[in-house]
Amino acid sequence: MGDYLIVGLSTDDFNILKHKQSFYSYPDRKVILESVRYVDKVIPEVSWEQKEKDILKYQVDTFVMGHDWTGKFDELKSFCEVIYLPRTDGISSTIIKDNLRGNF
């Protein structure tokens, strides 16, 4: 979809505000994402409101989210193209976390 991929990665504090908890810490998740050859830049996501600022700051042409967020970021369409991609069938981060914790 593009030639430069920027990934907004929720910080641990932002996850707390969203009532979520990651299996790995922000620094560890950042290293994992940075190791993916298609990822060019990882930026910390600290609030919902920063998306518009990041789009302008990094001159983003296309904003992509999972389809479960359809419609939630349509206000960004005045700044860039917004695309909602289908999630991968059979992949659940909740199931993965439960398995890693031995709760399966």
Q: Which residues participate in catalysis according to the annotation?
A: 18, 20
Cα angle vertex 8, ends 62, 16, to 5°? 140
3-state secondary structure of 67: helix
Strand partners, 10: 45
- Name the burial class of residue 66, with classes exposed (0-12), middle (13-18) and buried (19+) by CB atoms within 10 angstroms of its CB: exposed
Fill in the DSSP letter of residue 87.
P
Strands 81-85 and 62-66: parallel
